[in-house]
């Protein structure tokens, strides 16, 4: 009986000693300046998290802007190609018109020569006719 | 010979004038005005092609303008985000100043309100 009581008291005491550290671990005490630093770090963390979210949205917007700017560059390159084509076609047109102009200049010269000949021939004919009429 | 000319003077002159007139009329109707039908066709075709290219450029201008409008909206969003960042920085700067100046009780209260214990 004594043995049973001794074992029971031993078990109970060991249980009570084992539970004491567990109740201590539920609360942590720290110096006030450490707590202040912890709170400061937490505040910095909150600030950084909030700024990070904003930076992410800014990054997304910038990526969209880059895509649009690339589209503008592609469109401007296409426009430049088209302008080059327009220039080439206009030059081709001018070349045709220039050739026509040269032909017309030659034609004008020819007509001038022809007119001179007509004037001379007409003069001769009129002179001949007048002479014929006068001598008859 | 002289008598022949004298007798046929009118006919000779008439024949010469007729030949001259026929030559001029034929020349007037056969000679082109310098621009051949082929040249005209080529110029018209080039004008059409240039017109198509100009239309294409107008469409490109429209799309460029729409891209620019989108970029303006994005720029506006970015400036709003920058303002928000400034507000956040000011808010947390103020909060950190409060933490720096806080006493032990206030720090404890901050912990309590943060973690609800």
pLDDT in tens, A62-103: 999 999 999 999 999 999 999 999 999 999 999 999 998 998
The interface predicted TM-score of the complex, written ipTM, equals: 0.70
Per-residue confidence band for B10, with pLDDT thresholds at 50, 70 and 90: confident
Judging contacts by C-beta atoms under 8 Å, the chain A residues touching residue B31 are 107
Q: How confident is the model at residue A107, as a pLDDT? A: 86
Q: How confident is the model at residue A20, as a pLDDT? A: 45
Per the listing, tokens 């017309």 go with A104
Domain that holds residue A117: 2-135
| Residues found in chain A | 136
Tokens of A73: 């560059």
* Shortest CA distance from A87: residue in chain B: B50
Touching check for A103 and chain B: CB below 8 Å? yes
User: Residue B34 pLDDT more than 80?
Assistant: no
What's the total number of domains in chain A?
A: 1
CB pairs under 8 A between A and B: 125
Q: Shortest CA distance to B76 belongs to which of A72, A76, A73, A64?
A: A64
What pTM was computed for the model?
0.67
**Minimum-distance CB partner of A75 among B13, B34, B64:** B64
Look at B95 and A43 and tell me if their CB atoms are within 8 Å.
yes
Residues 17-56 of A with CB under 8 A from B: 32, 35-36, 39-40, 42-44, 46-47, 50-51, 54-55
Residue ranges of domains in chain B: 1-31
Element (H, E) at B99: helix B37-101
If you compute the radius of gyration of chain B from its CA atoms, what whole number of angstroms results?
A: 48
């Amino acid at each position: 009986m004594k043995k049973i009581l001794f074992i029971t008291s031993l078990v109970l005491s060991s249980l009570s000693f084992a539970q004491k550290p567990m109740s201590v671990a539920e609360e942590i005490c720290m110096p006030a300046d450490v707590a202040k630093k912890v709170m400061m770090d937490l505040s910095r963390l909150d600030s950084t998290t909030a700024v990070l979210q904003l930076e992410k949205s800014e990054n997304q917007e910038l990526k969209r802007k880059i895509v649009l700017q690339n589209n503008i560059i592609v469109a401007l390159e296409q426009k430049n190609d088209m302008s080059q084509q327009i220039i080439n076609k206009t030059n081709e047109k001018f070349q045709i018109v220039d050739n026509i102009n040269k032909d017309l200049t030659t034609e004008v010269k020819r007509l001038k020569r022809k007119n001179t000949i007509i004037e001379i021939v007409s003069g001769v004919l009129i002179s001949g006719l007048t002479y014929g009429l006068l001598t008859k | 010979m002289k008598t022949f000319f004298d007798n046929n003077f009118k006919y000779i002159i008439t024949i010469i004038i007729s030949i001259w007139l026929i030559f001029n009329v034929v020349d007037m109707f056969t000679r082109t005005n310098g621009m051949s039908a082929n040249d005209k066709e080529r110029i018209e075709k080039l004008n059409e092609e240039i017109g198509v290219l100009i239309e294409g450029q107008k469409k490109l201008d429209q799309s460029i303008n729409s891209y620019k409008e989108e970029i303006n909206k994005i720029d506006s969003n970015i400036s709003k985000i920058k303002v928000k960042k400034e507000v956040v920085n000011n808010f947390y700067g103020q909060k950190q100043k409060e933490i720096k100046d806080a006493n032990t009780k206030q720090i404890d209260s901050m912990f309590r309100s943060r973690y609800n214990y």
